[in-house]
């Protein structure tokens, strides 16, 4: 899933998280497919960002998977002798790869 | 002789930190609330009403207690229920820290996100480990890098030098702090928390987040905040050029007793909640005018 500014929303995108108003009222449930009308409505309610399925936007400055994995290696480079942290790293790696799986 | 000189320096920095020229002073409301809390006849409603007089503060408090890192299933719309749910000590620390957060949001969004992330992980861990007061642990996690903010504001020269040392020599921040000032941010945060009369159970996890094995009062909370810091750093919510995951304290790990399955679960839950945190800090950056639904006046 990816969090995108409403300005980048397009019909056909599917909500990966519900859009809430006043913090707790569900305006649009998870799984809703966006239409022009829904996007308009969200705009009127001044919703700033939404979370959609997949990874539709190549955000400027966002890193590629390879770059993210290299960063991960660097972050854990000084704790390679600590088994629980190496397990943690492996799991984060798996999740990074899965997140790109659209 | 060398030692003496060093301790002289440390004393000077300590004094400088405590002068708090650039840090916010304790809001008067805290003294008032502390007096009220000492009186057994005071009700949470009365305390809520006192806080509500400061509208901005109440809106911030409600926003904090409703954010992902406390993880209450339902929205808390009144200050009196917030006091009941979080306890007076946590509310007091949050009031004191509200002004610090404000500075952090403005000056160091990265540190703010790191702190929020750490609080999310700590809350989740505290619940899993059935800690008696998970909110206290989340609050300690939220404040664990208080010392960094204090250093940045009170010792801007050394702070920049430390940043440069980290960048140029690729050393962890606490090592650069020790070399440059003879004290590190955890210690500075601990002093400050004590100076502000935070309860010891909150001071210790701030003071010992890089040395949880030294904990005496609240070893479990220290272990949780220590690991929370490690995990959010692992996920990439670090601070500045000091990107490395710090070493894990063996003793803290033994206290946590997390299995591989626990870690798998934890990562899944935390990842979801960190989305909220990102949204939360973006929202705060966009200004408080957003939506104090339920409102500060609603006590």
Using a CB-CB cut-off of 8 Å, the residues of chain A touching B275 are: 1, 3, 17, 51
Contact A51, A16 (CB under 8 A): yes
What pLDDT, on the 0 to 100 scale, is given for residue A7?
Answer: 77
Contact B120, B158 (CB under 8 A): no
Residues B55, B56, B59, B61, CA torsion sign? negative
Q: List b or e across B68-81, with b for residues whose CB sees 16 or more CB atoms inside 10 angstroms.
A: bbbbbeeebbbbbb
User: Is residue A24 less than 8 Å (CB to CB) from chain B?
Assistant: yes
What pLDDT, on the 0 to 100 scale, is given for residue B99?
Answer: 67
| pLDDT above 70: percentage of residues in chain A | 89
Contact B172, B148 (CB under 8 A): no
C-beta atoms of B243 and A76 within 8 A: no
User: Is residue B230 less than 8 Å (CB to CB) from chain A?
Assistant: yes
- The residue-averaged pLDDT of A59-76 equals 84
Contact A57, A33 (CB under 8 A): no
pLDDT at A102 over 50: no
| pLDDT above 70: percentage of residues in chain B | 84
- The residue-averaged pLDDT of B30-38 equals 80
Q: Which of B240, B187, B177, B178 is nearest to B209 (CA)?
A: B187
Q: What mean pLDDT, rounded, does chain B reach?
A: 82
Contact A55, A100 (CB under 8 A): yes
Q: Which of B87, B112, B115 is nearest to B206 (CA)?
A: B115
What pLDDT, on the 0 to 100 scale, is given for residue A53?
Answer: 85
Residue A73 confidence class, pLDDT cut points 50, 70, 90: very high
pTM (two decimals): 0.77
DSSP state of B213: G
| pLDDT above 90: percentage of residues in chain B | 33
Residue A79 to chain B, least CA–CA distance (Å): 6
What pLDDT, on the 0 to 100 scale, is given for residue B75?
Answer: 80
- Nearest-angstrom CA–CA distance, B121 and B128: 11
C-beta atoms of B244 and A23 within 8 A: no
CB atoms within 10 A of CB B49: 13
Name the residue in chain B with its Cα closest to that of A4: B279
Q: Which has the higher per-residue pLDDT, B108 or B164?
A: B164
What pLDDT, on the 0 to 100 scale, is given for residue A3?
Answer: 76
Name the residue in chain B with its Cα closest to that of A88: B263
HEC secondary structure over B223-271? HHHHHHHHHHHHCCCCECCECCCCCCCHHHHHHHCCCHHHHHHHHHHHH
Q: Assign B159 to helix, strand or coil.
A: helix
Question: Among B243, B279, B293, whose Cβ lies nearest the Cβ of A49?
Answer: B279
- The residue-averaged pLDDT of B91-96 equals 78
Predicted confidence (pLDDT) per residue in B210-260, tens digit: 999 999 999 999 999 999 999 999 999 888 788 999 999 999 999 999 999
Task: Answer left, alpha or beta for residue A14, where phi above 0 means left and psi between -120 and 50 means alpha.
Answer: beta
Residue B230's Cα: distance from chain center in Å?
15
Residue B96 confidence class, pLDDT cut points 50, 70, 90: confident
Strand partners, A4: A50
| Burial class of B130 by CB neighbour count within 10 A (0 to 12, 13 to 18, 19+) | exposed
What pLDDT, on the 0 to 100 scale, is given for residue B4?
Answer: 53
Residue B288 confidence class, pLDDT cut points 50, 70, 90: very low
Residue B281 confidence class, pLDDT cut points 50, 70, 90: low
Q: Assign B76 to helix, strand or coil.
A: coil
Q: Which of B131, B143, B52, B32 is nearest to B97 (CA)?
A: B143
3-state helix, strand, coil in chain A (%, to 5): 40, 20, 45
DSSP conformation letters of B157-203: HHHHHHHHHHHHH---HHHHHHHHHSS-HHHHHHHHHHHTT--HHHH
pLDDT-wise least confident of A82-86, B2-6, B13-17, B22-26: B2-6
What pLDDT, on the 0 to 100 scale, is given for residue B266?
Answer: 93
Residue B213 to chain A, least CA–CA distance (Å): 16
Which of B245, B250, B261, B289 has the most A C-beta neighbours within 10 Å, making it the best mutation to test the interface with A?
B245
C-beta atoms of B234 and A51 within 8 A: no
Which of A21, A85, A99 has the most B C-beta neighbours within 10 Å, making it the best mutation to test the interface with B?
A85
Q: Which has the higher per-residue pLDDT, A9 or B297?
A: A9
- The residue-averaged pLDDT of B152-176 equals 91
Write down how long chain B is.
299
Q: Which of B142, B223, B270, B253 is nearest to A92 (CA)?
A: B270
What pLDDT, on the 0 to 100 scale, is given for residue B209?
Answer: 96
Strand partners, A28: A19
């Amino acid at each position: 899933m990816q969090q995108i500014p409403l300005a980048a929303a397009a019909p056909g995108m599917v909500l990966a998280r519900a859009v809430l108003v006043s913090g707790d009222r569900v305006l649009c449930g998870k799984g809703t497919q966006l239409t022009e009308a829904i996007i308009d409505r969200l705009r009127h309610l001044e919703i700033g960002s939404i979370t959609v399925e997949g990874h539709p936007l190549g955000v400027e400055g966002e890193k590629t998977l390879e770059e993210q994995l290299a960063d991960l290696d660097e972050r854990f480079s000084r704790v390679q002798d600590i088994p629980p942290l190496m397990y943690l790293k492996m799991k984060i790696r798996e999740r990074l790869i899965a997140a790109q799986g659209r | 002789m060398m030692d003496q000189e060093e301790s002289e320096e440390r004393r000077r920095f300590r004094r400088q930190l405590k002068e708090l020229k650039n840090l916010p002073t304790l809001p008067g409301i805290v003294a008032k609330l502390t007096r009220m809390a000492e009186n057994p006849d005071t009700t949470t409603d009365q305390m809520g009403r006192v806080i509500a007089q400061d509208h901005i503060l109440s809106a911030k408090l409600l926003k904090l207690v409703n954010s992902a890192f406390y993880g209450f299933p339902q929205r808390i719309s009144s200050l009196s229920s917030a006091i009941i749910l979080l306890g007076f000590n946590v509310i007091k620390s949050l009031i004191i820290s509200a002004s610090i957060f404000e500075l952090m949001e403005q000056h160091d969004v990265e540190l703010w996100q790191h702190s929020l992330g750490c609080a999310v992980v700590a809350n989740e861990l505290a619940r899993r480990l059935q800690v008696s007061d998970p909110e206290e642990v989340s609050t300690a996690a939220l404040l664990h890098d208080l010392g960094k903010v204090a250093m940045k504001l009170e010792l801007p020269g050394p702070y920049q030098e430390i940043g440069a040392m980290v960048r140029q020599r690729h050393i962890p921040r606490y090592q650069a702090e020790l070399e440059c000032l003879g004290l590190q941010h955890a210690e500075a945060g601990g002093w400050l928390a004590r100076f502000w009369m935070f309860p010891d159970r909150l001071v210790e996890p701030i003071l010992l987040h890089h040395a949880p094995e030294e904990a005496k009062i609240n070893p479990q909370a220290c272990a949780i905040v220590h690991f929370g810091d490690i995990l959010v750093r692992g996920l990439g919510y670090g601070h500045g050029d000091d990107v490395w995951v710090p070493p894990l304290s063996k003793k803290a790990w033994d206290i946590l007793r997390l299995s591989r399955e626990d870690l798998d679960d934890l990562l899944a839950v935390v990842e979801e909640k960190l989305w909220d945190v990102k949204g939360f800090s973006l929202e705060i950056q966009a200004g408080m005018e957003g939506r104090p639904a339920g409102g500060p006046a609603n006590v």
